[in-house]
Amino acid sequence: MSEPLRVEAGGKPGESVVWIGTGLLADADRYLVSRSGRFLLVSNAASRSLTEPLRRVLSGRLLADVEIDDREVAKRLSTVEKVVDAALAAGVRRDDALIAVGGGVVSDIAGFAASILLRGIEWNAVPTTTGSMADAAIGGKTGVDHAAGKNLLGSFHPPRAIVVDASTLETLPERDYRAGLVEAFKSAWISDAELAARAERDLSALLGRERRSLFDLLAGSIRIKVEIVGSDPREQGRRRLLNFGHTLGHAFEAAGDYRLRHGEAVAWGIAGALAISRERAGLSEATARRLRTVLAGLGPFPEPVRDPALLAPLLSRDKKSTVRGIAGVLLEDVGRARVENAIPLEVWIEAAQRASLSPTG
């Protein structure tokens, strides 16, 4: 095993550290942070085999071992309660730390639980999907869905350590693997034209899970997120760029009762945002076509629900919605994005109808 890559994240130096490598979980003790040395493990059923090395390494220091349902329908306050109940029953103290092993839903729930336990205990994220690795819990957005919409309850609570172990991807189902890459490309598209060009060129190697190109894209998208979040931890300005494709993406996800994977819905959301960017941000048709070609290559993705009657209330309830309109991220060119604060609902609805993953639009 070669030495892992270490990336400092978080507002202050050392606040969060990302480790990127292969086979890190067998040596997890070196990377996971707990002031007391004691941990609470939160994982999903799919990562059962992946957490075995952790259980061995942390034997005798695991206060609790909680398996949660990580389907989007279970991303509710009641699942957070399950985690906090187990932690409190086990006698969790302020200097203990939690570990979340799984995809984005696991870290959203476990991170939220950590943020409210004893008014906040530390936690570690071990993402095991391409999507959650690209996102990597950097910046500490945690949260759950509510009857009224997605991610409506939550907190900002960055993990102390993020352990990205590429070996955990070996057992990831193809559909999740591909959907997750959408998030990695998204980061490149909004702020790193060179990384985007390399990843686009390496697309077939990426789809073949070729390790070198996968590392390049994951490490690149993690660095982008670290840099953007570091400059705007509370999402008052630049951090909002990371929401590229997410305004429509979240609406597509909810309108289809979460049958689309998050990354798939974001792919459709990006397609819609490209249509708006053509009209309002000067994006060229050639560039829009280039991005649709990549998305088509990552797919094919199932069709989203485009019914305006379903999408409109979801868009209006978006967290990025204010009394003045619904904010969105528009692309001016590859590597250059900007936030437009008040895009009318009608524009979103129309883009949802036109969103296409066919290269020719």
Q: Judged by CB under 8 A, which of 51, 115, 187, 277 binds a copy of itself?
A: 115
Q: From residue 212 to residue 251, what is the string marking binding to a copy of itself with x (rule CB under 8 A)?
A: ----------------------------------------
Q: How far is CA 247 from the centre of its chain?
A: 14
Q: Judged by CB under 8 A, which of 55, 317, 338, 354 binds a copy of itself?
A: 317
Q: Is 285 in the site for a copy of itself (CB under 8 A)?
A: no
5, β-bridge pairs? 20
Q: Which residues have a Cβ under 8 Å from the Cβ of 22 and sit 6 or more positions away?
A: 1, 2, 165, 166, 167, 211
CB of 16 to a copy of itself, least distance (A): 16
Q: From residue 69 to residue 98, what is the string marking binding to a copy of itself with x (rule CB under 8 A)?
A: --------x---x--xx--xx-x-xxx---
CB of 225 to a copy of itself, least distance (A): 17
Q: Judged by CB under 8 A, which of 4, 21, 111, 143 binds a copy of itself?
A: 143
Q: Judged by CB under 8 A, which of 289, 319, 338, 354 binds a copy of itself?
A: 319
What would the DSSP string read from start to end of 267-305? Answer: HHHHHHHHHHHHHHS---HHHHHHHHHHHHHH---PPPP
CB atoms within 10 A of CB 326: 22
| SS3 state at 17 | strand
- Residues 19-58, interacting with a copy of itself (CB under 8 A): 36, 38
CB of 85 to a copy of itself, least distance (A): 8
Q: Tokens in use for 154?
A: 């939550």
Q: Judged by CB under 8 A, which of 82, 141, 223, 292 binds a copy of itself?
A: 141
Q: Judged by CB under 8 A, which of 12, 14, 59, 147 binds a copy of itself?
A: 147
CA distances from 265 to 43, 125, 144, 181, 259 (A): 24, 24, 17, 12, 9
Rounded CA-CA distance 203/297 in Å is 8
- Residues 156-185, interacting with a copy of itself (CB under 8 A): 156
Q: Backbone phi, then psi, for 162, in 5-degree steps?
A: -125, 120
Omega of the bond leading into 313 within 30 degrees of 0 (cis)? no
Rounded CA-CA distance 9/28 in Å is 19
Interface contacts to a copy of itself, rule CB under 8 A: 36, 38, 77, 81, 84-85, 88-89, 91, 93-95, 115-120, 141, 143, 146-149, 151-156, 316-317, 319-323
